[in-house]
Structure 1
Amino acid sequence: MPTDTTTSAPQQLRNFYAGDWHAGADAGMDVVDPATAQVYTHAPLSRQAEVDAAYSAAAKAFDTWGHTTPAERQLALLKIADTLEARADEFVAAESRNTGKPLGLTASEELPPAVDQLRFFAGAARVLEGKSAGEYMAGFTSYTRREPIGVVGQVTPWNYPLMMAIWKIAPALAAGNTVVLKPAETTPETTLLLAELAAEFLPEGTFNVVTGDRETGAMVVSHPAAKLVSITGSVRAGMQVAQAAAADLKRVHLELGGKAPVLVFDDADVVAAAAAITEAGYFNAGQDCTAATRVLAAPGVHDELVAALAEQARGTVTGPPSDPDAAYGPLNSAAQLEKVSGFVDRLPDNASVEAGGSRPDGPGFFYSPTVVSGLRSGDEAVTDEIFGPVITVQKMVEGSAGSSAEEVEAQAIRQANDTRYGLASSVWTADHGRALRVSNALNFGCVWINTHIPLVAEMPHGGFGHSGYGKDLSMYSLEDYTRVKHVMSAL
């Protein structure tokens, strides 16, 4: 496997708060290129002093940013979006270096949506709505105000470092809040670049970034200056954040794990479904909470679908960022590679590896595109989030034959909902009525029909159950970063 590096490595990374760069007191953390498994720079291991300084800057900035007009906030976000678009090559190179993502896919599939989402929230800042002012009680006029909450603390994951930072800061800033954000310890580079870029158009201290480990993240979410904390991460991390926030009654916004069921019925176009599921399952090495990696196949198409998915997997290329044929790059870290490998190594006897199931030769944290069949509802690979390029397939009806279409549909819904997660799902069928019945019955925040994984800024993203609460994207996200005040005046 090729092991080239695409861009020169940066010098020691630094925190960015109060409108400037700041070195950490600690010697720092290794930042590794996952395509080579080599350290290429270091980032501060921030502790309480750095976190306090960032929050102090954010609190001071709120006195200014919190009183700007929607038009002023819109203009700033539009300028940030325009500058990010103009510097796209720089951000793509940094994101690919820090994550191992293919350069071409990062440029085509991640930068444009990130820019678009900034522009969406720029516009959304000017269209917040509420009840009309009126005399709801004789002799009194009432109206509602949507106000910024204040300083918010945010923690982002390593699977989409730049995009997740924008999902967090764009609605928060559009609503008039100021931000202290901690990126994942393995992927801090583009978030720091974004903070530097944004500082050109925001009051000093409006958007601050401190890097560090889990202990740093705990300091960010438990800090008394934070009025709301938001995290995208694991269920375990989300529970810890909710517990920490409860001690101070902070508002919490959680986007956590997922185990998206992909329901393929007998009347689906198997070839088209297999191609789309493969793309949505292996994109970003399957490191996506909405990845199409838990397939439920109807009895009539099960064998054909397994064969088609295996064929697609064998034709899927993984490689370093510069490989134009690579559909995905390495996993995030040695720990993530070990986790994904462990799921496959522990498969039960009833499971069969139809494709992949191993590491390719060479350095880096790569894992082959994998398809596993024969799984049952209680198997670990079905119940737990693998977060890697492993697609599992199970039959909608287990251990029975001759079931009616209605029985298959009912069983498929039960199997799909038999999970603690509730983020995303998809239904593959030519029957419009079935598509609507099943989408209504699925307990997931998003249901795609005959597709899987597209997202748009105008529609909400967020789940139920152990997938968390609160919405990213859309006006619902902007509202999450506001508080509602009722004002009543005697006539």
Structure 2
Amino acid sequence: MPALPLNGPLFDHWRTTPDAESAFAVLNPATGEVITSLRKADAEEVDAAVAKATAAFETWGRTTPAERSAALLALADGLEAAGEDFARLESANVGKPLAQAREEIAYDADVLRFMAGAVRVPHAMATGEYLPGRTSLVRRDPLGVVGLITPWNYPLMEALWKLAPALAAGNTVVIKPATVTPLSTVLFTQMAQEVLPEGVLNLVVGDRTAGQVMVDHPDIRLVSLTGDGATGKKVAASAAATLKRVHLELGGKGPAVVFADAQLETAATELAQTAFLNAGQDCSQPCRVIVEDSAYEAFTAAYLKTVAGLACGAPDDEDSHFGPVISQRHLESVEGFVERARAAGATVLAGGRRIDRPGFFHEPTVLTDVRQDDEIIQSEVFGPVVTIQRAADDEEILAMANGVEYGLAASVWTSDVDRALRFTRDLAFGTVWLNQHLVVANEMPFGGFGQSGYGKELSAHAIDEYSQVKHIMLKAAHG
């Protein structure tokens, strides 16, 4: 396989020797080997990035939608042209199968293209005379400098979910990727700096210390974070000191409710395949399957049959359905969840242990005989672990599905139209799929309720998230 694309001015800027005081190692989770060593930004570098973004906003904030659209389209073209480099980098750094990484990069380009189109079709209240002799109009203006803090499970995709609408709205950006998976964001920023004016997009490589400086910075007008709930609460609390806006996409504990009238073989196959994508490291994964009692045995047998055929292997193996989890620390966390569930009385129907090989691999694991208040039901594992519960009727199923603090995504599997309408209405989740799971359209908003955060990614609504609305009223000289 060709060498990974780790060259260029931005990589040179952040690369350092392993023994440097600020160094951290970026690993390949499939092998545990070091890909490269980068250094963490200090507070002064974050301040400098914000200053550059502030200066650039004076010009970028006044560009037309057409100009910003053209820039986003150029970024999409550049991403596609270098798609194989990005896919190999994402696969190596996250451990996901190369084929899936290629699909992600193609999708990422479409995110940019959608936002390039959406910004040219603004929506607002109609200009008109709402009071006698006065004309009102509404502007949608950029905020200024926004700070983006992105996660490690889908590094480039999640970055572009934020970056594309932020730039489309006319903001300038300081972005900080997760320290374990910064490489695709470094490569994209390096490419983008050849397209965007200086200072419009600024990269900060660093840990929570750099993130905290961003959250506290008085010149950053909004912080958008994708991460865990505890971090989200800290960000929201810190941001209150400067009254900056906060956009949070946090954890999930997605239920998939399966009724006896569903196509059980199809539901079992699709839910099993979806649950273990990306090694289960997805906030929207169907990690809680709740099955109507009369269908439980048949569904579970079909589900386990599919799981038995899912290969957990090396990212460059074409037969791999999923690869390793992200780190040794996270592998130990997943193991801990499974062992505590087992100790609490759960039955392990499949998997249950790490795989004895280099890297951070864990078997696809299915648990049953769990109680609604068990940790394995209430807390996000974020790994290749699924629970299957049984329930007697619609009321119990709905109560179990809604009986967690999270509210990101859910799915309903039924052929009954009335039941489908009721459950898609009453499930307290930001996205509810019917007879499918984990299907995302750039035209539709994505975001959660409750402990899953607030604010929307994707769709034209995302541009509004990075905008502020101004009402202008004009008084006629002569009534």
Does the pair score TM above 0.5? yes
User: Offset at 1:10?
Assistant: 6.0
Corresponding residue for residue 479 of structure 1? 464
Corresponding residue for residue 30 of structure 1? 25
1:96 is the counterpart of 2:91: yes
Judge conservation of contact 1:15–1:211 (CA < 8 Å) in 2.
no
1:31/1:410 Cα in 2 relative to 1: closer, same or farther (>3 Å)? same
User: Offset at 1:27?
Assistant: 3.8
1:441 is the counterpart of 2:426: yes
The one-letter code sitting in structure 2 at the alignment partner of 1:333 is: S
1:417/1:12 Cα in 2 relative to 1: closer, same or farther (>3 Å)? same
User: Offset at 1:138?
Assistant: 1.1
Corresponding residue for residue 67 of structure 1? 62
User: 1:22, 1:305 → 2: CA distance?
Assistant: 50
Judge conservation of contact 2:94–2:326 (CA < 8 Å) in 1.
yes
User: Offset at 1:172?
Assistant: 0.1
1:82-139 residue CA offsets vs partner (Å, 9 max, x unmatched) = 110111000001111111111011112x112111110000001111111111111112
Judge conservation of contact 2:49–2:203 (CA < 8 Å) in 1.
yes
SS in structure 1 at match of 2:77: helix
SS in structure 2 at match of 1:42: strand
Corresponding residue for residue 53 of structure 2? 58
User: Offset at 1:81?
Assistant: 0.2
1:107 is the counterpart of 2:99: no
User: 2:205, 2:44 → 1: CA distance?
Assistant: 13
1:131-187 residue CA offsets vs partner (Å, 9 max, x unmatched) = 111111112111010000000011000000010110010000000000001000100
Q: 1:469 aligns with which of 446, 454, 462?
A: 454
1:172 is the counterpart of 2:192: no
Q: 2:361 aligns with which of 357, 366, 389?
A: 366
User: 1:369, 1:11 → 2: CA distance?
Assistant: 32
Judge conservation of contact 2:15–2:36 (CA < 8 Å) in 1.
no
User: 1:257, 1:312 → 2: CA distance?
Assistant: 26
1:199 is the counterpart of 2:190: no
User: 1:23, 1:349 → 2: CA distance?
Assistant: 46
Corresponding residue for residue 42 of structure 1? 37
What percentage of aligned pairs have identical amino acids? Answer: 49
1:12/1:337 Cα in 2 relative to 1: closer, same or farther (>3 Å)? farther
Judge conservation of contact 1:309–1:371 (CA < 8 Å) in 2.
no
Corresponding residue for residue 74 of structure 2? 79
Superposition pairs of residues 222-237 of structure 1, within 5 angstroms: 222-237=216-231
1:151 is the counterpart of 2:145: yes
1:451 is the counterpart of 2:446: no
Aligned pair count reads 472
User: 1:119, 1:10 → 2: CA distance?
Assistant: 24
Judge conservation of contact 1:51–1:210 (CA < 8 Å) in 2.
yes
Corresponding residue for residue 275 of structure 1? 269
Judge conservation of contact 2:289–2:386 (CA < 8 Å) in 1.
yes
User: Offset at 1:42?
Assistant: 1.1
Q: Which range moved further: 130-139 or 22-31?
A: 22-31
Q: TM-score, normalised by structure 2?
A: 0.96
The one-letter code sitting in structure 1 at the alignment partner of 2:261 is: D
User: 1:439, 1:124 → 2: CA distance?
Assistant: 27
SS in structure 2 at match of 1:393: strand
Superposition pairs of residues 388-407 of structure 1, within 5 angstroms: 388-397=383-392
1:212/1:43 Cα in 2 relative to 1: closer, same or farther (>3 Å)? same
User: 1:27, 1:386 → 2: CA distance?
Assistant: 30
User: 1:476, 1:323 → 2: CA distance?
Assistant: 39
User: 1:121, 1:339 → 2: CA distance?
Assistant: 37
User: 2:290, 2:60 → 1: CA distance?
Assistant: 49
Corresponding residue for residue 214 of structure 1? 208
Consecutive unaligned residues in structure 1, runs of 5 or more: 1-5, 398-407
User: Offset at 1:488?
Assistant: 1.0
SS in structure 2 at match of 1:263: strand
The one-letter code sitting in structure 2 at the alignment partner of 1:217 is: G
SS in structure 2 at match of 1:136: strand
Judge conservation of contact 2:119–2:460 (CA < 8 Å) in 1.
no
Corresponding residue for residue 298 of structure 2? 304
The one-letter code sitting in structure 2 at the alignment partner of 1:359 is: R
SS in structure 2 at match of 1:300: helix
Q: Which range moved further: 154-163 or 134-143?
A: 134-143
Corresponding residue for residue 414 of structure 1? 399
Judge conservation of contact 2:411–2:433 (CA < 8 Å) in 1.
yes
1:326 is the counterpart of 2:320: yes
User: 2:237, 2:424 → 1: CA distance?
Assistant: 33
1:259/1:350 Cα in 2 relative to 1: closer, same or farther (>3 Å)? same
Judge conservation of contact 1:14–1:43 (CA < 8 Å) in 2.
no
1:426 is the counterpart of 2:420: no
Judge conservation of contact 1:9–1:41 (CA < 8 Å) in 2.
no
1:278-300 residue CA offsets vs partner (Å, 9 max, x unmatched) = 11100100000000110001101
User: Offset at 1:199?
Assistant: 1.2
1:244 is the counterpart of 2:229: no
**Aligned residues: CA RMSD:** 1.6
User: 2:239, 2:7 → 1: CA distance?
Assistant: 32
The one-letter code sitting in structure 1 at the alignment partner of 2:315 is: P
1:79/1:26 Cα in 2 relative to 1: closer, same or farther (>3 Å)? farther
User: 1:113, 1:40 → 2: CA distance?
Assistant: 25
Consecutive unaligned residues in structure 2, runs of 5 or more: none
1:15/1:218 Cα in 2 relative to 1: closer, same or farther (>3 Å)? farther
User: Offset at 1:8?
Assistant: 2.6
Corresponding residue for residue 126 of structure 2? 132
User: 1:200, 1:69 → 2: CA distance?
Assistant: 20
1:258 is the counterpart of 2:252: yes
User: Offset at 1:349?
Assistant: 4.6
Judge conservation of contact 1:179–1:207 (CA < 8 Å) in 2.
yes
User: 2:449, 2:373 → 1: CA distance?
Assistant: 21
User: 1:12, 1:358 → 2: CA distance?
Assistant: 38
Q: TM-score, normalised by structure 1?
A: 0.94
Judge conservation of contact 1:7–1:97 (CA < 8 Å) in 2.
no
User: Offset at 1:223?
Assistant: 1.3
